Amino acid sequence: MVNRNAPRHTSATTNGGTADEPGARGSRGIQSIEVGGQLLRVLVRSGAALPLKDLARAAGMTPAKAHPYLVSFGKLGLIEQDRVSGHYGLGPLALQLGLIGLQQVDPVRLAVAELPALAQTVRCTVSAAVWGPVGPIIVHVEHGPTPVHVAMRHGTPASLRHTGTGKIFAAFAPAATVAEALAREGEAQALQDAAFAAELEAIRRAGLSRVRDELLPGISAMAVPVFDGFGRVVLAIAAIAPSALLDLDPHGAPARVLREAAERLSNRLGYCGV
């Protein structure tokens, strides 16, 4: 007799091997868990509790199919149902897993691993910067095929007013923190500059900063923000190259590659977007 309630398995094989063989490249999984996991993904993306009908529809299944998964997830603490509205939201175990995951992930380590391939793809020097004690600080530089003669190394501060990296933090970091850092740079009046304010707003909309010949003649850069699970900017990833060689088109290939890299890193850090 076939047990219709038994978990269904999925497997991938290569070179004629099976997933159970030692060294097989394919990995075996439980399909029912993967299907039910779509409900968790929907709740993560929505950021709010949902009624059964809406939750099931967004996960591509009927309410009757979704309900048993929700019952099991509820017993585990991954999902909980509001007693008043009946809506389903993430449960205490899901929250605990998220917090522990955030504690275990190092943004800089993830960025450093990403930069070598990024430098080869955009064919120029790339860098990662964090917010330091007094403002943006470059923590890693990866040189690409195109040489750029800029005195940039680990520990170099980035101007909030005049660099692509700095403008990312100026646009996305807390306003009070940015104001203090600008004052230390001797740029306190920048916050009253209508052109600078408009530029920062454009950066927020585009998710990208661009500078051409601004700090150094003949050098251009573009940068993108990386966010953590709380929506805070934790890194700026930048590409730097001679102005004649760097395509600053916000819809061009370098911008697309940078945004994709930032999105991957943000996802790893638990960011779900807005």
Q: Please name which of 230, 229, 248 lies closest in space to residue 238, comparing C-alpha atoms.
A: 248
- Does this model's pTM top 0.75? My answer is no
pLDDT bucket at 199, cuts 50 / 70 / 90:
very high
CATH superfamily of 105-268: GAF domain (3.30.450.40)
Q: Could you give the CA distance from residue 117 to residue 113 in angstroms, rounded to a whole number?
A: 8
| CATH number for the segment(s) 9-101 | 1.10.10.10
pLDDT at 3: 44
> Which tens digit of pLDDT belongs to each residue from 242-265?
999 999 999 999 999 999 999 999
Q: Could you give the CA distance from residue 78 to residue 72 in angstroms, rounded to a whole number?
A: 9
Q: What are the strands, taking DSSP E only, across 150-258?
A: 209-212, 219-227, 233-242
Contact 209, 233 (CB under 8 A): no
Residue 22 has pLDDT above 80, yes or no: no
Domain positions in the chain: 9-101, 105-268
**Average pLDDT of the segment spanning 179-193:** 86
Residue 163 has pLDDT above 70, yes or no: yes
Q: Could you give the CA distance from residue 231 to residue 134 in angstroms, rounded to a whole number?
A: 21
pLDDT bucket at 6, cuts 50 / 70 / 90:
very low
Residue 108 has pLDDT above 70, yes or no: yes
> Which tens digit of pLDDT belongs to each residue from 63-107?
999 999 999 998 998 999 998 899 998 888 887 776 665 555 578
Which residues make Cβ contacts (< 8 Å) with residue 222, sequence separation at least 6?
A: 164, 208, 209, 210, 211, 238, 239, 246, 248, 254, 255, 258
Q: What single letter denotes the amino acid at residue 73?
A: F
